[in-house]
Structure 1
């Protein structure tokens, strides 16, 4: 997509695409991509892409298991949470994952908050405890 519109604190779509390309070269992402492809899920060039978005969001999932993504990405590590202003010491990681899943799901106009919460709670234990292909959450 060759847009030069400004998104997410001044980043252009092209700058975001460049960040995606660099991210795909990191050891953890290469490891995940390798294991996804071994399990039959081919990761094409447009699997992760930047698009211009009029809403004030920094990302979302078109489909998939947001609980695993939040848990395994490291984005809910306590240091990142402290930088965001969340000072809770115990249970911060699960609370962060739940908050981020709900935020991601709120972008779907066909899914109410209560339906989103019910869906998340229904699959929480299975998805949160599934750390494959890692031995444990990174």
Structure 2
């Protein structure tokens, strides 16, 4: 897998992430403009209420979230949705996170839509499933690469229309390209993947087996 330009130089790795962050920041500014004059605390409260509303609606009505909850339970890792699914403000660029100790974090100030929250929640639930069934060492670059490949591949965040909204219009192998791009962006930020080509090599080494591993699904969502 090569990420060099024609002249042999490395392209800016974070360009696509910057594009997405710009779109999200524009949405965030538009959201805040609706509450001009509101304090930061009032805006945070509205964001929290919206996140909680969307979260509860998805848990109650979304078949994908229900499926993941059922499979986590079957695997011996039943989630308390009130205790383990937390809507909190975040000051980093990701929209969510998973910790075996804390559960799933949903970044209430980073969601542009209910669908965005759904993709994030599913992504983190797949991490939770992997941790429950295989005890992933997230401090190991290859194991983390596998976890990211699976979560991105299976969560729905690389659907064609979602990619189009990000400005990615490729047709041939667009899904695989999306999964690789987004996984690499995450890996490049990790301490365990620091060093020249460490993230790229880890991704390449585990790609085939992890991309083809669809558990607990029968096919890509």
> What is the CA distance between 1:135 and its match in structure 2?
1.6
Aligned-partner Cα distance in 1 for 2:170–2:85? 32
Distance 1:49 1:99, change over 3 A: farther
Q: Does 1:21 align with 2:63?
A: no
Q: Does 1:77 align with 2:159?
A: yes
Q: TM-score, normalised by structure 2?
A: 0.51
Consecutive unaligned residues of structure 1, counting only runs of 5 or more, are: 1-6
Aligned residue number for residue 4 of structure 1: none
Aligned-partner Cα distance in 2 for 1:51–1:108? 22
Aligned residue number for residue 94 of structure 1: 176
Distance 1:18 1:109, change over 3 A: farther
The one-character-per-residue Cα deviations of 1:25-55 (angstroms, maximum 9, x if unpaired) are 2111111211121122222334433332222
> What is the CA distance between 1:15 and its match in structure 2?
2.1
Relative to total residues, which structure has the larger helix share, 1 or 2?
Answer: 2
Distance 1:110 1:52, change over 3 A: farther
Cα RMSD of the aligned pairs, angstroms, is 2.6
Aligned-partner Cα distance in 2 for 1:98–1:66? 9
Q: Does 1:124 align with 2:207?
A: yes
Aligned length: 132
Superposition misfits of 4+ residues, deviation over 4 angstroms: 60-63
Equivalent residue for 2:67, pick from 12, 23, 31? 31
> What is the CA distance between 1:86 and its match in structure 2?
0.3
The one-character-per-residue Cα deviations of 1:39-82 (angstroms, maximum 9, x if unpaired) are 22222334433332222333345573121111111111111111
| Structure ID, larger Rg | 2
Q: Does 1:42 align with 2:124?
A: no
